[in-house]
Amino acid sequence: MKERLKVLISAYACSPYRGSEPGVGWGFVTALAKRHELWVLVEEEKFRGDIERYLAENPQFAESVHFHYLRKRRNRWLRRIWPPSYYWYYRRWHEEALEVAKQLHREIGFDLAHQLTMVGFREPGYLWQLGVPFVWGPVGGMGLFPWRFMQAVGAYGALYYLGYNLFNAWQMQFSLRPRLAARAAGSGLIAATPENREGAHRFWGCSSTVMTEVGLPHEPSRSITVRKNGEALRLVWTGLHIPRKALNLALEALSRLPPEVAWQLDILGIGPQTVPWKKLAARLGVTDRCHFHGWIERDQALELMQNSHAMLITSLRDLTSTVTVEALASGVPIVCLDHCGFSAVVDDSCGIKVPLTSIVKTTADLAQAIEALAYDESLRKKLAKGALVRAQAFTWAEKARIVDQIYRARLQPDDAEHPP
């Protein structure tokens, strides 16, 4: 088998200067470009400027990566009154991407096609119809908001996630194209989280490899922050202030700590829940220990994180936020819910996972985990050192190595596709 493959990648969202989905696309593309020659299909309006700016500054990158841009049609007025209309135009973009892919394949002769971003399972694109071995993933979005925690997100949040659960359940069960794409991928199906692996097996009858969608944006630190004797336990929480991020669970847990436990919580981000959460902190009597920073510059956020003693993650519906691996790379142990992508990233070597049982029990368990770190500095230091080791599993280079193995397995003669 040849060393460098010709790979076509659909990365609707891809940018060297943005986080979230565009950052996921760029992270995989740049890492895979060191192993293979890539042709990448990208949405034009949002991402062409970013990519061309990068290529102007790094012209050698264009030797192994060839970008082709397709503009997605948009109707912003319609999307304001009916947000799901986004998917009509997004699907049309993928239909046009297939036509471009066919033309490129006639000229180049691809060894393999990879549907990369967006990560959600609802839109698998059409590259699985190209007639070459196909890889799809990381795939996310399967699963449900935990029913027992509807009360934790307020009336509006509960109504929203009730609809979300019903819609997701229907799509996982009955959407045809994701099932066909997953079966076409065969051993090339990559799940973003264990929850998505279980969903792919249950609803599509497909096995998959679990690989978190996010990677390290920087090299892991070589040292950890030491907590001095008598120093308050410095905790950090970061994210959008929206119901599913559930900062209220952390505030409730902190309010249960014994009075003699010294702690402070730095809260990054902003959103519609900022004011309600500030009011909750006041009602619980923890306002003086909670510092709401809003959005701050990335360098400032990283410095604040690196100087923390532990990170709290309380999200009830997510894949795996970048701050998770950033915390590990900074030597910051994590206290999180044993849920979403965090359950695969955090283990006993680098943090404490709290099971989702009930609001009351989970809140109590969060408090117990925080108290353990506050009283046992040797445990916290052990987890901090373990975080630096654990972070190595999430470098883009390591992800590219695993994806390369998946590519080569798909090219084996005995690795037949699942029948549609």
Q: What is the pLDDT along the chain (420 residues), one digit of tens a residue?
A: 688 999 999 999 999 998 889 999 999 999 999 999 999 999 999 999 999 999 999 999 999 999 999 998 877 777 677 666 777 889 999 999 999 999 999 999 999 999 999 999 999 999 999 999 999 999 999 999 999 999 999 998 999 999 999 999 999 999 999 999 999 999 999 999 999 999 999 999 999 999 999 998 777 788 898 899 889 999 999 999 999 999 999 999 999 999 999 999 999 999 999 999 999 999 999 999 999 999 998 889 989 999 999 999 999 998 888 899 999 999 999 999 999 889 899 999 999 999 999 999 999 999 999 999 999 999 999 999 999 999 999 999 999 999 999 999 999 876 655 433
Cβ atoms 179, 203 nearer than 8 A: yes
Q: Is 135 helix (H, G, I), strand (E, B) or coil?
A: strand
Q: Domain coordinates of the chain in residue numbers?
A: 6-213+395-410, 233-394
pLDDT at 416: 53
Domain 6-213+395-410 identical in fold to domain 233-394: yes
Q: For residue 103, give the amino acid letter.
A: Q
Instruction: Go through 145-156 and write b for each residue having 16 or more CB atoms within 10 A of its CB, e for each that does not.
Output: bbeebbebbeee
Long-range contacts for 78-87 (Cβ within 8 Å, ≥24 apart)?
Answer: 87/122, 87/123
What is 6-213+395-410's CATH topology? Answer: Rossmann fold (3.40.50)
Nearest CA-CA partner of 114 in 51, 193, 41: 41
User: Cα dist. 5→38, 39, 113, 202, 240 in Å?
Assistant: 8, 11, 10, 33, 39
- Rounded distance between C-alpha atoms, residue 6 and residue 42, angstroms: 17
Q: Is 217 helix (H, G, I), strand (E, B) or coil?
A: coil
Pairing of strands 310-313, 134-139: unpaired
Please give the CATH architecture assigned to the domain spanning 233-394.
3-Layer(aba) Sandwich (3.40)
Q: What is the separation, in whole angstroms, between the first and last Cα of the chain? A: 27
